[in-house]
Amino acid sequence: MIHENEKRYDEREFVERPITFNMSAHRAAPFEVISKKGICIDISSSGLGLVSNCHLHKGEVMEVHVPIGVKEVTVRVFAEVRWSAFAGDSARSGLRFL
């Protein structure tokens, strides 16, 4: 069930899986890809929650490699940063799939 103060439209599944994401072009030199790692903490059909050591910027678009199944298989998707906030030594972010 989605709570009345919840901004998500879809129910999320709580997970804790390593995830890789590539920063968008404006954060890197031309033709350079900055690859980062984080932890996917929840996922739904419309987006995911991410914890990483990188503060992301609202509106930023990135390439995310979402793990599926039990083997080291990922699906490449693009996502927009909807929000990001520091939580101790790390940052927590909400991403919306595009």
Of the spans 26-35, 59-68, 74-83, which averages the highest pLDDT?
Answer: 74-83
Q: What is the pLDDT of residues 39-76, one digit of tens each?
A: 999 999 999 999 999 889 899 999 999 888 777 788 99
pLDDT of amino acid 68: 83
Phi/psi for 53 (5° steps) reads -95, 15
Domains of the chain and CATH, by start: 13-97 (2.40.10.220)
- HEC per residue, 27-81: HCCCCCCCEEEEEEEEECCCEEEEEECCCCCCCCEEEEEEEECCCCEEEEEEEEE
pTM of the model: 0.80
